[in-house]
Each structure stands twice: as structure tokens, then as C-alpha cells.
Amino acid sequence: MKVLVPVKRVIDYNVKARVKADGSGVDLANVKMSMNPFGEIAVEEAVRLKEKGTVSEIVVVSIGPKQAQETIRTALAMGADRGILIEMDGPVEPLSVAKLLKGVVDAEKPDLAILGKQAIDDDANQTGQMLAALLDWPQGTFASKLEITDGKALVTREIDGGLQTLSLDMPAVITTDLRLNEPRYASLPNIMKAKRKPIDTKTPGDFGVTPDIRLQQITVSEPPKREAGIIVGSVEELVDKLKNEAGVI
């Protein structure tokens, strides 16, 4: 059984993003980059399935600049077998990503695609759903538990009313939630081994895809600073302020 795991290179989640002075975007100069945390969870889940003997090969794919090889190497150090880099500079939107991933799926013929539910830079939360639609595969989104039994994927999802379990015929697309697992740290020996694992470099043209820019970013600004709270003397005063000052009731 082969699993495809797309990963994305993003600003490290420990870094505070800075907005450019002209408001045209986020300043990426000299900023630490790392794998999208939801992508780490997807890689970890694939590795755990391999350790159980359910999965035989894990293929990691990333779309981005040449530096995204570092992101792929991290996934290889965690336990993935080989990587594919679709090299391109500039922004790439979820629909273009889904089309490129469909091309990879058509070439690799995986039995399962496990993606992070969203990236922490654009928070789009669209790629997995779009990929499932393009492939006409069943999908299980926001997975907090995944089991593979008898050729089916059992996906437990957290919903407003509690938990929902889906039984999906494979091949299928799964997107990961935070509570699915806790990603491991790559050991030094595995980091060294990852340097010898193969990474194939492709271009969008290899998959017959021309990435489209359908969205125009007008401006980027930091959120307003949180104002100091006030202490009220009674419930009546609280209700009055919520009604007449905040306007929330």
C-alpha cells in the first residue's frame, strides 16, 4: 500500500510574522521556515501506518521554491521513503495545488492521500477537498483518528454534536486534525539517512498544469492591538455596558 503525503513550506509557527511596511504582504526575509504543522501530523500518521505494516511506501510531495527540499528532507527523516518537489516560485493557490497533486496521484497511483487540513499561512482549508473532487475519491476531513481495515479507511471526525465515524472505500483522501497524533522528532541518524533518500524534481508543466492566479491580494495588515479590559461593579453594570457600549446584546 502506497501513501502520498503533500507537505508545505511555511513560516515556522514559533515565529511572529511581520507585515511589510507597504502592506503588500508578509516579510519573509531572514525568517525561519519549516513544515506546516498539519503536514507534520500527516507524515507522522503515514509513518505510524508503515510501522504497523499497513503501508509499504510513503511518498512526500511539496510545491514551492528549491528551498522546499529542506521540508521534504524533514519528512524523509521522520520516516518517509522518497520525495517529489514540484519546483516553482511565487504564490500557488489551492486549486492549482490540487491540480498538481492530481497529476502526482495519476503518476504514482497511491492507495491513500493524507494531507494537513490547512496551512497556517493562508488557512485556506481547501486543497484536500478539491483534490478529492478532482479525483472523484471519497474524503474524510478533519480526522482525529484513522484506522485501515479490510481495504477501508475508518475516519473519526470531531463535529459539533460529538464524534462522527466514516467508512471510506479506498483510494481516498484524508485531511488531518490536530488531535490525530503528536509528530515525532527526527533523530540524528535518521536525519543523516534522509540525505541519501531520493528527491525527484518536477515542474508544473510535467503534469500539464499552468498555475492560475485567481485571487488578488489587496493589502495585508496586522490585527489591532487588544485593548485593556475594565472591572465592573455589578451584573447590572456589565449588562449595561455589553448592551450600550459593546453592542453585543
pLDDT in tens, 14-29: 988 888 888 888 888 8
Residue percentage of the chain with pLDDT more than 70: 100
Q: Tell me how many domains the chain contains.
A: 1
**Sequence-distant contacts of 126-132: CB under 8 A, at least 24 apart:** 126/94, 126/95, 126/98, 127/6, 127/94, 127/97, 127/98, 127/101, 128/173, 128/174, 128/175, 129/175, 130/94, 130/95, 130/97, 130/98, 131/98, 131/101, 131/102, 131/105, 131/173, 132/172, 132/173
CATH value at residue 14: 3.40.50.620
Q: Would 248 be classed as within a structural domain?
A: no
Q: Would 195 be classed as within a structural domain?
A: yes
Q: Would 233 be classed as within a structural domain?
A: no
Q: Would 123 be classed as within a structural domain?
A: yes
- pTM over 0.75? The answer is yes
Q: Would 235 be classed as within a structural domain?
A: no
Kindly tell me if the per-residue pLDDT of 168 is higher than 90.
Answer: yes
What is the domain range of residue 60?
2-224
Q: What is the reported pLDDT for 136?
A: 96
